[in-house]
Amino acid sequence: MAAPTTDRTESGSPGAQTVSMAKALNAGLRAAMEADGKVIVMGEDVGKLGGVFRITDGLQKDFGEQRVLDTPLAESGIIGTAIGLALRDFRPVCEIQFDGFVFPGFDQIVSQLAKLHYRSQGKLPMRVVVRIPFGGGIGAVEHHSESPESLFAHVAGLKVVSCSNAADAYWMLQQAIASDDPVIFFEPKRRYWEKSELDTSATPQPLHTSRIARPGSTATLAAYGPMVRTALDAAAAAEQDGHDLEVIDLRTLSPLDLAPVFDSVRRTGRLICVSEAPGECSVTAEVTARVQQECFYSLEAPVLRVTGFDTPYPPSKCEEQYLPDLDRVLDAVDRVLAH
Amino acid sequence: MPSPQHDPPSWTRSSVGSAGAVEAEPTAAQVIAGLRATSEGGDDLVQLLSPEGQRVHHPDFTLDVGAEELKSLYRDMTLVRRVDREANALQRQGQLGIWVPLLGQEAAQIGAGRAMAPQDMAFPSYREHGIAWCRGVDPTELLGIFRGTDHGSWDPRATGLHLYTIVIGNQCLNAAGYAMGQRFEGKVGDSATGEATICFFGDGATSQGDVHESFVWAAVYDAPVVFFCQNNQWAVSEPTERQSRVPLYRRAQGYGFPGIRVDGNDVLATLAVTRWALDECRAGNGPVLIEAYTYRMDAHTTSDDATRYRLAEELEAWKLKDPIERLRVHLVREGVAEQDFFDGVAAESDELAARLRECCEAMPAPGPERIFSQVYAEPSPAVQAQHEELLAYQAGFADAGTPDGER
Ligand SMILES: Cc1ncc(C[n+]2csc(CCOP(=O)(O)OP(=O)(O)O)c2C)c(N)n1
Ligand SMILES: [Mg+2]
């Protein structure tokens, strides 16, 4: 039973439904576990509770306690033992409860998970997925709203992706689990309950590819994870002002798939990169650098970035001002168009 | 110390299931075993006041407490419970983003908090509202964390209460280091004037590397730190058996310092044991591990639904050991307090709750300067520039006549 049970859409395809990203992730995990008996889920509260976001809801009931492990409370332990299990050809899918709690496991991720394949010269593939609900906008206390993806993208040996809708959540998670490389899988928690179309009979696009989420011609917005929705909303609002914005969902942060971005910028001449993460030394900084290198003669305006500020994540009453929103994106659109 | 054979069944090898699906509904035998496992502290439990409110003799720990002290312990527990319930309600009404209840852990916290001397330092996790109370931090100062206006507004140095720490286990190493500093500065050696540190964490936290490392550091440097573990039986949805095969207090033995399990619902026992442990530290005989055996009577937080993973019967069993009720019965039985005392505390609780609510509702949202202030000790031109950029951007909306903050 791979398909989630929810409202059918009217689009006609037999596998098409409208589901929340949370449901799609749950269905993707379930499909991966059914397809491969070596796939196991491990983390804090993922079993009986089904995870604090219910992404693993019902999996322990159906697959048993040896395939869905309520682990002791230690992230280094979760990642480190997942590595050991991967050495015996298990495919662990680790859940980190919130973005800010991955750091006790950072050592194992950077020192072993990222490097064992290289150190063993290919003899020890690290088929481990680390799922991290990330980003803000949910009014949470400290350490529950961070966007640490750039720290992982900076580490050679790790692959880093982020989904932005139900279909990508469903497919990308299964692709990440099937990957022979370790994948850090960032889930935009504030979008967990937003619904979008999922066709489980469709053929998914490859994992490490970006995607044009909305075609346009005036300027390009490049975003990923939670900011794709924001970028699309901004594009819809800009349409009222006669601006036809293209939105690219980066999907894969390491390796980056920038060919569609270069192609887009060559057409529009203008690029704005959007992320919740602070801009300094970030994924958006990398995209910006590469675009100016590849598309220098096509650019009509400097590449702009709309990001979180270079500060710790603030108390949540400030987050509306901290996080990029529709207005800040539109403000950047005005600025690139002023050139 | 008794041998492992004397342990309640929960402390034997945990039964990580055989392959295949587990049963959704526990059997009656499992329910009973579960209740026994979580509500019995075992032979080593230090208790001075029975759940029925009777003083119990203990060979190692005694406590001389007068009528006034008994009454003030009751008052403290009652007031912090009221603060806790009011804050929980404020969350339900949308005034707080989340609340982390201490319900059921009042004796563990008031006992430990009241054992501290003014010169001592406490490192809380995120549930230690009773410790904050004992350090003289006004309950209204806790609200900002949960309302989202600050990350803790009190002065840790002035109050002897470090900021709340949410990343599980982090504070234990910080506490060990602080205690090392107390020793390096010669503050240890006199049990009257010496300094000590006390660090609070949960049963789940005992699995974290940071906590184990803090035990190592404290032991190697003879640091004057009391590791105070509130074993409230649950780490969100995971029972303590998910974290350990042995009772938590026995972990200390392996690191080379004493570990004591105290009835965490018995404020007298907690006070006596913690006082002893802090004095040991002050005198240079630290560290000490205390496991306060207690129960989280509410959900993990206001975001949690505990009915998904634990039985209502368990709560009912623990209600019979309620920390406040047991002291109340004792006060009445011994004739220490009359009805007007209890009425007075109730009235004071009402006033405190009203003040808490009023302060909460009146708390101003921080301005954009809060985002950028104090990122670094030395001024950062880059952060300053981003602050100015945001102000200029917001001014653009003001010029356009859009009310600020309502874009
Ligand atoms: C490093 C880290 N991982 C995960 C979490 C999420 N989390 C918050 S509280 C908690 C359970 C803690 O249990 P315990 O230590 O027993 O303390 P209690 O909440 O019961 O007081 C978890 C898993 C966290 N805060 N920090
Ligand atoms: Mg606990």
For the Cβ of B168 lying below 6 angstroms from any atom of ligand 1, the answer is: yes
Query: Which of A73, A311, A317 is nearest residue B149 as measured by Cβ atoms?
Result: A317
Co-location of A195 and A314 in the same domain: no
Query: Residue A235 has which token pair?
Result: 């594009």
Reference B131, options B150, B149, B154, B148; nearest CA is B154
**Count of structural domains, chain A:** 2
Query: Which of A44, A140, A319 is nearest residue B238 as measured by Cβ atoms?
Result: A44
B235 to A73: CB separation less than 8 angstroms, yes or no: yes
Q: Which residues of chain A are within 8 Å of residue B212 when distances are taken between CB atoms?
A: none
A241 interface with B at CB cutoff 8 Å: no
Co-location of A146 and A217 in the same domain: no
Co-location of A190 and A318 in the same domain: no
A70 interface with B at CB cutoff 8 Å: yes
Any domain includes A141: yes
A314 interface with B at CB cutoff 8 Å: yes
Any domain includes A146: yes
Last residue of a domain, one of A199, A225, A246: A199
- State in Å, rounded, how far the first CA of chain B is from the last one: 65
CA of B295 to the centre of ligand 2 (A): 8
Report the pLDDT value the prediction gives residue B38, as an integer from 0 to 100.
Answer: 55
Greater pLDDT, A34 or B12: A34
B208 to A73: CB separation less than 8 angstroms, yes or no: yes
B396 to A331: CB separation less than 8 angstroms, yes or no: yes
Query: How far out from the chain centre does Cα B198 lie?
Result: 11
Co-location of A80 and A188 in the same domain: yes
Angstrom distance (rounded) from CA B209 to CA B2: 27
Mean pLDDT, rounded, of chain A: 96
Co-location of A77 and A146 in the same domain: yes
For the Cβ of B235 lying below 6 angstroms from any atom of ligand 1, the answer is: yes
pLDDT at residue B29 greater than cutoff 80: no
Query: Residue A128 has which token pair?
Result: 């481990």
Catalytic, out of A117, A143, A144, A339:
A144
* Residue range A131-135: mean pLDDT, rounded: 98
**Residue in A34, A56, A57, A73 to test binding to B, most B beta-carbons within 10 Å:** A73
Strand partners, A219: A245
* Residue range B230-247: mean pLDDT, rounded: 96
Residue numbers of the domain that contains A150: 16-199
CA of B240 to the centre of ligand 2 (A): 7
Which CATH number does the domain housing residue A124 bear? 3.40.50.970
A208 is catalytic: no
CA angle B372, B374, B377 (to 5 degrees): 135
* Residue range A20-26: mean pLDDT, rounded: 98
For the Cβ of B264 lying below 6 angstroms from any atom of ligand 1, the answer is: no
Query: Which of A52, A64, A328 is nearest residue B21 as measured by Cβ atoms?
Result: A64
pLDDT at residue B19 greater than cutoff 60: no
Q: Which residues of chain B are within 8 Å of residue A312 when distances are taken between CB atoms?
A: 375
pLDDT tens sequence across A75-93: 999 999 999 999 999 999 9
Report the pLDDT value the prediction gives residue B5, as an integer from 0 to 100.
Answer: 39
Report the pLDDT value the prediction gives residue B15, as an integer from 0 to 100.
Answer: 39
Is B327:B296 a contact under the CB 8 Å cutoff?
no
pLDDT tens sequence across B75-127: 999 999 999 999 999 999 999 999 999 999 999 999 999 999 999 999 999 99
Residue of B nearest to A59 (CA): B21
Any domain includes A6: no
B365 to A317: CB separation less than 8 angstroms, yes or no: yes
Angstrom distance (rounded) from CA A165 to CA A251: 10
Report the pLDDT value the prediction gives residue B192, as an integer from 0 to 100.
Answer: 81
Query: Residue B294 has which token pair?
Result: 């207690």
Q: What is the 3-state secondary structure (H, E, C) of chain B?
A: CCCHHHCCHHHCCCCCCCCCCCCCCCCHHHHHHHHHHHHCCCCCCECCECCCCCECCCCCCCCCCCHHHHHHHHHHHHHHHHHHHHHHHHHHCCCCCCCCCCCCCHHHHHHHHHHCCCCCEEECCCCCHHHHHHCCCCCHHHHHHHHCCCCCCCCHHHHCECCCCCCCCHHHHHHHHHHHHHHHCCCCCCCCCCCCEEEEEECHHHHCHHHHHHHHHHHHCCCCEEEEEEECCEECCEEHHHCCCCCHHHHHHHHCCCEEEEECCCHHHHHHHHHHHHHHHHCCCCCEEEEEECCCCCCCCCCCCHHHCCCHHHHHHHHCCCHHHHHHHHHHHCCCCCHHHHHHHHHHHHHHHHHHHHHHHHCCCCCCHHHHCCCCCCCCHHHHHHHHHHHHHHHHHHHCCCCCCCC
Angstrom distance (rounded) from CA B132 to CA B80: 10
**Closest approach of chain A CAs to the CA of B402, in angstroms?**
12
Report the pLDDT value the prediction gives residue B191, as an integer from 0 to 100.
Answer: 75
Co-location of A243 and A115 in the same domain: no
pLDDT tens sequence across B249-263: 999 999 999 999 999
Co-location of A181 and A234 in the same domain: no
Report the pLDDT value the prediction gives residue B32, as an integer from 0 to 100.
Answer: 57
* Residue range A138-166: mean pLDDT, rounded: 98
Report the atom number in ligand 1 closest to the C-alpha of B105: 21
Query: Which of B21, B368, B394 is nearest residue A61 as measured by Cβ atoms?
Result: B21
Other CB atoms within 10 Å distance of the CB of residue B88: 20
Strand partners, A94: A42, A130
A317 to B147: CB separation less than 8 angstroms, yes or no: yes
pLDDT at residue B16 greater than cutoff 60: no
Any domain includes A286: yes
Any domain includes A9: no
Best of B164, B168, B297 for a ligand 1 pocket test (most atoms within 8 Å of beta carbon): B168
* Residue range B12-40: mean pLDDT, rounded: 50
Angstrom distance (rounded) from CA B47 to CA B65: 15
A320 interface with B at CB cutoff 8 Å: yes
Report the pLDDT value the prediction gives residue B36, as an integer from 0 to 100.
Answer: 54
pLDDT band (50, 70, 90) for residue B13: very low
Report the pLDDT value the prediction gives residue B22, as an integer from 0 to 100.
Answer: 42
Report the pLDDT value the prediction gives residue B365, as an integer from 0 to 100.
Answer: 94
- Report which bound ligand comes closest to the CA of B304: 1
Mean pLDDT, rounded, of chain B: 91
pLDDT at residue B8 greater than cutoff 90: no
Residue of A nearest to B407 (CA): A327
Any domain includes A115: yes
Co-location of A110 and A53 in the same domain: yes
DSSP annotation of A247 reads E
Any domain includes A45: yes
Question: What sign results for the dihedral spanned by CA atoms B164, B170, B176, B180?
Answer: negative
B207 to A77: CB separation less than 8 angstroms, yes or no: yes
pLDDT at residue B20 greater than cutoff 70: no
Q: In the block, which residue shows the tokens 């916290």?
A: B109
**Closest approach of chain B CAs to the CA of A209, in angstroms?**
33
Last residue of a domain, one of A199, A224, A259: A199
For the Cβ of A73 lying below 6 angstroms from any atom of ligand 1, the answer is: yes
Query: Residue A317 has which token pair?
Result: 């009453």
Co-location of A217 and A309 in the same domain: yes
Co-location of A244 and A186 in the same domain: no
Helix (H) / strand (E) element for A33: namely helix A21-35
* Crossing angle of helices B339-362 and B140-147, rounded to 10°: 40
Co-location of A137 and A28 in the same domain: yes
A327 to B407: CB separation less than 8 angstroms, yes or no: yes
Report the pLDDT value the prediction gives residue A186, as an integer from 0 to 100.
Answer: 99
Other CB atoms within 10 Å distance of the CB of residue A333: 24
Strand residues in A21-164 grouped as ranges (E) = 39-43, 68-70, 91-95, 129-134, 159-162
Is A50:A57 a contact under the CB 8 Å cutoff?
yes
Angstrom distance (rounded) from CA B67 to CA A224: 64
* Residue range B30-55: mean pLDDT, rounded: 79
* Residue range B162-191: mean pLDDT, rounded: 96
Co-location of A168 and A218 in the same domain: no
Report the pLDDT value the prediction gives residue B234, as an integer from 0 to 100.
Answer: 98
CB contacts < 8 A, A to B, total 139
Task: Give whole-number Cα distances, A200 to A168, A169, A203, A211, in Å.
Answer: 11, 11, 8, 19
pLDDT tens sequence across B143-164: 999 999 999 999 999 999 999 9
pLDDT band (50, 70, 90) for residue A15: confident
Angstrom distance (rounded) from CA B19 to CA B13: 17
**Closest approach of chain A CAs to the CA of B131, in angstroms?**
20
Give the amino acid at A168: D
CA of A261 to the centre of ligand 1 (A): 41
Greater pLDDT, B354 or B37: B354
Which CATH number does the domain housing residue A272 bear? 3.40.50.920
pLDDT band (50, 70, 90) for residue A192: very high
Any domain includes A59: yes
Last residue of a domain, one of A149, A178, A199: A199
> ipTM more than 0.85?
yes
Cis peptide, bond prior to residue B366, ω within 30 of zero: no
Report the pLDDT value the prediction gives residue B42, as an integer from 0 to 100.
Answer: 83
Query: Residue B251 has which token pair?
Result: 């972990």
B371 to A45: CB separation less than 8 angstroms, yes or no: no
